[in-house]
Structure 1
Protein backbone atom coordinates (compact mmCIF):
# COMPACT_ATOMS: atom_id res chain seq x y z
CA UNK A 1 0.00 0.00 0.00
CA UNK A 2 2.74 2.43 -0.94
CA UNK A 3 1.15 3.74 -4.14
CA UNK A 4 0.21 7.43 -4.20
CA UNK A 5 -3.25 6.39 -5.45
CA UNK A 6 -3.85 4.70 -2.10
CA UNK A 7 -4.24 8.10 -0.50
CA UNK A 8 -3.72 8.61 3.18
CA UNK A 9 -3.55 5.56 5.44
CA UNK A 10 -5.86 5.00 8.34
CA UNK A 11 -6.71 1.37 9.00
CA UNK A 12 -5.04 -0.88 6.35
CA UNK A 13 -8.22 -2.77 5.48
CA UNK A 14 -10.36 0.39 5.38
CA UNK A 15 -7.74 2.13 3.22
CA UNK A 16 -7.70 -0.78 0.78
CA UNK A 17 -11.49 -1.00 0.57
CA UNK A 18 -12.06 2.73 0.22
CA UNK A 19 -9.07 3.67 -1.94
CA UNK A 20 -7.90 0.43 -3.55
CA UNK A 21 -8.33 -0.49 -7.20
CA UNK A 22 -8.43 -3.75 -9.12
CA UNK A 23 -4.78 -3.20 -10.06
CA UNK A 24 -3.86 -4.04 -6.49
CA UNK A 25 -5.65 -7.42 -6.48
CA UNK A 26 -3.17 -10.26 -6.88
CA UNK A 27 -4.80 -13.04 -4.84
CA UNK A 28 -8.44 -13.99 -4.39
CA UNK A 29 -9.57 -16.94 -2.30
CA UNK A 30 -13.27 -17.84 -2.00
CA UNK A 31 -14.41 -20.55 0.42
CA UNK A 32 -10.83 -21.85 0.61
CA UNK A 33 -10.48 -22.09 -3.19
CA UNK A 34 -7.89 -19.91 -4.92
CA UNK A 35 -9.65 -18.03 -7.70
CA UNK A 36 -6.81 -15.70 -8.69
CA UNK A 37 -3.10 -15.95 -8.00
CA UNK A 38 -0.46 -13.45 -9.07
CA UNK A 39 -3.20 -11.49 -10.86
CA UNK A 40 -4.06 -14.45 -13.11
CA UNK A 41 -7.38 -16.32 -13.15
CA UNK A 42 -6.87 -19.85 -14.50
CA UNK A 43 -9.03 -20.58 -17.52
CA UNK A 44 -9.99 -16.94 -18.11
CA UNK A 45 -8.57 -15.08 -21.09
CA UNK A 46 -8.37 -11.58 -19.59
CA UNK A 47 -7.11 -10.06 -22.86
CA UNK A 48 -10.22 -11.41 -24.62
CA UNK A 49 -12.54 -9.95 -21.98
CA UNK A 50 -10.68 -6.64 -22.03
CA UNK A 51 -11.27 -6.50 -25.80
CA UNK A 52 -14.96 -7.43 -25.42
CA UNK A 53 -15.37 -4.77 -22.72
CA UNK A 54 -13.82 -2.16 -25.01
CA UNK A 55 -16.12 -3.21 -27.87
CA UNK A 56 -19.18 -2.83 -25.63
CA UNK A 57 -17.99 0.54 -24.37
CA UNK A 58 -17.42 1.78 -27.93
CA UNK A 59 -20.91 0.62 -28.94
CA UNK A 60 -22.49 2.38 -25.96
CA UNK A 61 -20.48 5.54 -26.66
CA UNK A 62 -21.69 5.63 -30.28
CA UNK A 63 -25.31 5.25 -29.08
CA UNK A 64 -25.19 8.69 -27.46
CA UNK A 65 -25.42 10.23 -30.93
CA UNK A 66 -28.88 8.70 -31.44
CA UNK A 67 -30.17 10.36 -28.27
CA UNK A 68 -28.50 13.72 -28.96
CA UNK A 69 -31.05 16.26 -30.27
CA UNK A 70 -28.40 17.64 -32.64
CA UNK A 71 -27.33 14.14 -33.71
CA UNK A 72 -23.66 14.98 -33.16
CA UNK A 73 -21.08 12.20 -33.59
CA UNK A 74 -19.57 10.63 -30.49
CA UNK A 75 -16.20 12.26 -31.18
CA UNK A 76 -17.86 15.67 -30.93
CA UNK A 77 -19.85 14.75 -27.82
CA UNK A 78 -16.76 13.32 -26.14
CA UNK A 79 -13.74 15.27 -27.36
CA UNK A 80 -10.36 13.94 -26.27
CA UNK A 81 -8.55 15.60 -23.39
CA UNK A 82 -5.35 15.58 -25.43
CA UNK A 83 -4.89 15.81 -29.17
CA UNK A 84 -4.79 12.33 -30.70
CA UNK A 85 -2.53 11.28 -33.52
CA UNK A 86 -4.32 9.56 -36.39
CA UNK A 87 -3.31 5.92 -36.70
Structure 2
Protein backbone atom coordinates (compact mmCIF):
# COMPACT_ATOMS: atom_id res chain seq x y z
CA UNK A 1 0.00 0.00 0.00
CA UNK A 2 1.45 3.37 -0.97
CA UNK A 3 2.08 5.83 1.87
CA UNK A 4 -0.13 8.93 1.84
CA UNK A 5 0.22 12.04 3.95
CA UNK A 6 -2.70 13.09 6.12
CA UNK A 7 -3.12 16.29 4.09
CA UNK A 8 -3.28 14.38 0.78
CA UNK A 9 -5.77 11.90 2.19
CA UNK A 10 -7.99 14.64 3.64
CA UNK A 11 -7.98 16.58 0.36
CA UNK A 12 -9.16 13.50 -1.53
CA UNK A 13 -11.83 12.67 1.08
CA UNK A 14 -13.53 16.10 1.17
CA UNK A 15 -16.63 16.49 -0.96
CA UNK A 16 -16.99 19.60 -3.09
CA UNK A 17 -20.50 20.88 -2.41
CA UNK A 18 -20.38 24.06 -4.49
CA UNK A 19 -22.03 24.02 -7.88
CA UNK A 20 -21.12 26.07 -10.92
CA UNK A 21 -23.92 27.41 -13.02
CA UNK A 22 -25.25 30.08 -15.34
CA UNK A 23 -27.84 32.74 -14.62
CA UNK A 24 -30.69 31.88 -17.00
CA UNK A 25 -33.28 34.36 -15.73
CA UNK A 26 -32.91 37.63 -13.83
CA UNK A 27 -35.70 39.81 -12.40
CA UNK A 28 -34.25 42.84 -10.61
CA UNK A 29 -37.75 44.21 -9.92
CA UNK A 30 -38.83 41.14 -7.96
CA UNK A 31 -35.30 40.50 -6.64
CA UNK A 32 -34.55 36.97 -7.77
CA UNK A 33 -32.76 34.98 -10.45
CA UNK A 34 -32.80 31.43 -11.78
CA UNK A 35 -29.52 29.53 -12.06
CA UNK A 36 -28.99 26.29 -14.00
CA UNK A 37 -26.38 24.03 -12.41
CA UNK A 38 -23.67 22.72 -14.72
CA UNK A 39 -23.27 19.73 -12.40
CA UNK A 40 -26.69 18.17 -13.03
CA UNK A 41 -28.86 20.67 -14.97
CA UNK A 42 -31.10 21.43 -11.98
CA UNK A 43 -32.65 24.91 -11.91
CA UNK A 44 -32.22 26.82 -8.64
CA UNK A 45 -34.06 29.91 -7.47
CA UNK A 46 -31.74 32.61 -6.16
CA UNK A 47 -33.11 35.47 -4.03
CA UNK A 48 -31.17 38.74 -4.37
CA UNK A 49 -29.98 38.56 -0.75
CA UNK A 50 -28.08 35.33 -1.50
CA UNK A 51 -25.72 37.04 -3.99
CA UNK A 52 -22.27 38.29 -2.96
CA UNK A 53 -21.99 41.99 -3.76
CA UNK A 54 -24.70 44.00 -5.47
CA UNK A 55 -27.47 42.00 -7.14
CA UNK A 56 -27.65 44.59 -9.95
CA UNK A 57 -24.02 43.81 -10.89
CA UNK A 58 -25.02 40.37 -12.24
CA UNK A 59 -26.38 39.90 -15.76
CA UNK A 60 -28.08 37.19 -17.77
CA UNK A 61 -25.57 34.52 -18.81
CA UNK A 62 -23.07 35.19 -15.99
CA UNK A 63 -21.31 32.09 -14.65
CA UNK A 64 -21.52 31.78 -10.88
CA UNK A 65 -20.74 29.33 -8.09
CA UNK A 66 -23.21 28.60 -5.30
CA UNK A 67 -24.14 26.31 -2.43
CA UNK A 68 -27.43 24.43 -2.81
CA UNK A 69 -29.71 24.61 0.25
CA UNK A 70 -31.07 21.33 1.57
CA UNK A 71 -34.53 22.64 2.36
CA UNK A 72 -36.91 24.00 -0.21
CA UNK A 73 -40.47 25.22 0.12
CA UNK A 74 -41.25 25.78 -3.54
CA UNK A 75 -40.88 24.18 -6.94
CA UNK A 76 -37.16 24.81 -7.17
CA UNK A 77 -34.30 24.33 -4.71
CA UNK A 78 -32.60 27.48 -3.43
CA UNK A 79 -29.07 28.65 -4.33
CA UNK A 80 -27.12 30.27 -1.51
CA UNK A 81 -23.72 32.04 -1.17
CA UNK A 82 -23.69 32.97 -4.87
CA UNK A 83 -20.39 34.36 -6.21
CA UNK A 84 -18.97 35.07 -9.68
CA UNK A 85 -17.22 32.01 -11.14
Tell me the TM-score normalized by structure 1. Answer: 0.23
| Structure with more strand by fraction | 2
Higher helix share: 1
Higher RCO, 1 vs 2 (CA within 8 Å, ≥6 residues apart) = 2
Larger Rg: 1
